Structure 1
Amino acid sequence: MRAVSTLETRSLLLRRYAHMYRRFRATPLNFNERRAGFYASYWEDAARQLGACVNRLGDDYLEVARNGSSARVKDNSVDLDTYFSRGLADDKVFVTGLVGELGFFAPRFREYTLRSLSSAVGFLEEVGAPCVVKPRVGSGGCGITTAVNTRRRLIEASLATSDSLTLPALMIEQQIAGDSYRLLYLDGSLLHAVKRGRCTVIGDGLSTIRELVVRENESRLTDSRLQSLSPLTIDLEMKYTLTDQGKTLRTIPDRGERVVVKNVCNQNCRRDQEEVTAYVHGDYAQLASAVGTRLGAHLIGIDVMSEEISASPSQSGSAITEINIPPGLHYHELVEHQHNYSGVGAAVLEYLLRKA
């Protein structure tokens, strides 16, 4: 692959600002009320299980009190971990180094910006396999593009990830085979684990994939049984995922056909998730304990790419891809065939009240 010239870099910057303008003009789907409503119900249910009272403080803050002890929560944020532990967990370069230092495997990576795109091109050549492009600092799954295996895809993915007014630090990393898992630990003890499947839509034999995505988002906002707390967006990740299956947004899937529309799982829904708590190998708890000690953190979500979560990570080739502080708790509730809350909220709240 040839290097990226100065003229190409200037052209990239112009395309980037045009991309930003289109995103600015677009009207995003608003899931704020859906999220706030879910977490209010979630914490109220947990408090009820513990015989505690809930006082709404405003701006979605809740105070939970029991026997003279109290704790405050808001959405997935709890009063356990510091600004510093959260900031360090958001830095993917720091996390990769820490994971390796603790004896676990993290994907190879390289930092770059649009101005140093040739460095990323070189990395793609060295790896000789599909890669992932993502922001260096935590993004909640936004701006991540998988299946980057050509120079053209690398350029397009880098532009898609660059969505702020400054030139953000980007990462290109080796793409790891397997499924995505979220493991939730409290002081090194496993509370819950989910296998986070890729984003899907279900065909009806009449609608295009684009139309199915629109209908999926309508369902997520209106269904009485909560399906997801985020919209399923049409982006470069969706384009590549469909292209690699010989599909486009204009494809009409068969009735009942389950079509994977994104490899990145952050925008998936209830039907794409499966509880796997009983199958997680015990060695992952060592990582959770060590990370908690190093960062001064208690409640930690660990993202793993693995072909066999029940095997030791040292033997299975599993990779640690993210450390999440604070972790999203809704992932452990929006699970196929799960009709009641998992008990995670009550366990976290009990811990908070005992520490208060």
Structure 2
Amino acid sequence: MTKAHFPFVIRKLLELWDEGRLPNVAGVEIEPEYGYVARILYRSNAVRIIRGSDVGLNAGAACEVAKDKAYVKHFLRRSGFECPRGEAFLLPWWAKEIMPRLAEKGFTRPRTTDGAAEYAAGLGFPVYLKPIDGAQGRGVWRCDSAAHIQPVIDYYAEQRIRLMVVEEAVDLPDHRLVVLRDRLISAYTRFPLTVTGDGTATIAELLSELQRSFRLSGRPTTIDAADARIAARLARAGLDLATVPRRGQTVVLLDISNLTAGGTALDVTATVHPRWVRLALDVTAALGLKFSGVDLACADVTDPDAPYSVLEVNCSPGLDHYGSVGVEQRAVVDDLYALILNEPPD
């Protein structure tokens, strides 16, 4: 396996090591079969383990809790933060499997997806359905009516997803704030996957050209034109992949703005108000984390009094897509990983 196939963080580790930017590091060992795990040996005899995008800063239990959207909502609400209304539901196959154990503990009527449509109607459509421990926008669906919910549940069951969250839609711009201990690393506004018409190409052709531009720029994003969520989003606008948008027409293709799903970013690190930096730091601390990416829905991150909602918290925020935004952003990413990886663990 070549370095090019290693996860981004491990490639960055080797790059910084080769450049001499990790003076406290005595050696680096990479698990040879998949290149997914690395061990850093420090001159102080300390050791750090990296796994995928996890740089080994956050405690294991805290990171596991942060991956669970229901736990995050619970603890952030208890700490006084605004979050979207929503609840977790057991998929029937999983409920059946764990019912004997639940019954032993006195839980005889667990919340299952049988009640998801009624709950969603109470929240008010549209709502979002999310795998409880999903990441990078995978499996996130917008549902505009009760009829849209069961097909998503069926899909989740096929994927053996155990729990899902039904969550109200928050109609505010989406931002990611990455923080490390007591400092802001980066802040950027995220926009969903879009294409812009030229008056002659179909949406499918525009999407293919966008994918080509990603490859040429080195951006590690793969867009699946067959993603049913793209078809659903287009159908709501009366379009499909064969539609030829007029010149200059912007067509939104997904209801999520994750960069891994083809979204774009606008760097706002220099303009985000200190109130939102403080909030991201406090959210991170409230979950027992040192390093996180806080997904913040906020009307205006330059305004300290703007309405907001904390959408999710990522305990292993990948910065490869952010680093592809521009030269300055790549330098921020390099400096961050040099800082983290050069410092022996506590």
TM-score (norm 1): 0.77
Call closer, same or farther: CA 1:320–1:113 in 2, change over 3 Å.
same
Q: How does 1:1-356 map to 2 (within 5 A)?
A: 36=6, 38-39=8-9, 42-47=12-17, 48=19, 50=21, 52=23, 55=28, 57=30, 58=32, 59-60=34-35, 61-62=37-38, 71=48, 73=50, 75-113=52-90, 115=92, 116-146=112-142, 148-165=143-160, 168-220=162-214, 222-223=215-216, 225-266=217-258, 267-269=260-262, 272-312=264-304, 315-335=305-325, 337-338=326-327, 341-356=330-345
Q: Give the deviation of 1:282 after TM superposition.
A: 2.2
Q: Matched residues in 2 for 1:171 and 1:49: separation?
A: 45
Q: CA–CA distance in 2 between the matches of 1:56 and 1:150? A: 51
Return 5+ residue gaps in structure 1 as ranges: 1-31
Aligned residues: 317
Name whichever of 209-218 and 254-263 sits farther off.
Answer: 209-218
CA distance in 1, matches of 2:218, 2:148: 35
For residues 145 and 171 of structure 2, the distance between their equivalents in structure 1, rounded to whole angstroms, comes to 18
Residue 348 of structure 1 and its aligned partner are, at CA, apart by 3.7
- Residue 4 of structure 1 is matched in structure 2 by none
Query: Would you say the 8 A contact 1:43–1:345 is kept in 2?
Result: no
Check the 8 A contact 1:107/1:321 in 2, yes or no. yes
CA distance in 1, matches of 2:296, 2:39: 33
In the aligned structure 2, how far is the partner of 1:301 from the partner of 1:278? 17
Distance in 1 between residues matched to 2:336 and 2:135, nearest whole Å = 27
In the alignment, residue 94 of structure 1 is paired with which amino acid? Y
Deviation track 1:114-135 (CA, whole Å, cap 9, x = no partner) reads 5444422222222223111111
The secondary structure found in structure 1 opposite 2:171 is coil
Question: Alignment partner of 1:273: what SS?
Answer: strand
Structural RMSD (CA): 3.0
Instruction: Render the CA deviation track for 1:53-85: whole Å, top value 9, x for unaligned.
Output: 774623434566776677554552212123212
State the Cα deviation string for residues 283-316 of structure 1 (Å, max 9, x = none). 334444444444432111101112212223xx42
Relative to structure 1, is the Cα distance of residues 34 and 216 closer, same or farther in structure 2, using a 3 angstrom cutoff?
farther
Query: Counterparts of 1:35 and 1:248 in 2: how far apart (Å)?
Result: 34
Q: Is the partner of 2:6 in helix, strand or coil?
A: helix
Task: Determine what percentage of the aligned residue pairs are the same residue.
Answer: 21
| Matched-pair contact (CA < 8 Å) for 1:241–1:262 | yes
Instruction: Determine the structure 2 residue equivalent to 1:15.
Output: none
Q: Which is worse superposed, 326-335 or 34-43?
A: 34-43
Residue of structure 1 in register with 2:103 after alignment: none
Q: Secondary structure at the match of 1:210?
A: helix
Structure 2 residue matching 1:263: 3-state secondary structure: coil
Residue in 1 that maps onto 2:108 = none
Deviation at 1:330, TM superposition (A): 1.6
Cα deviations by residue, 1:28-58 (Å, 9 ceiling, x for unpaired): xxxx986637545533554537354774623
Query: Partner of 1:321: helix, strand, or coil?
Result: strand
Q: 1:97 to 1:196 in 2, by over 3 A?
A: same
| Cα pair distance change 1:39/1:136, threshold 3 Å | closer
For 1:163 and 1:310, the matched residues in 2 are separated by 43
Q: Which amino acid aligns with 1:201?
A: V
CA distance in 2, matches of 1:316, 1:163: 41
- What are the ranges of 5 or more consecutive residues in structure 2 without an aligned counterpart? 93-111
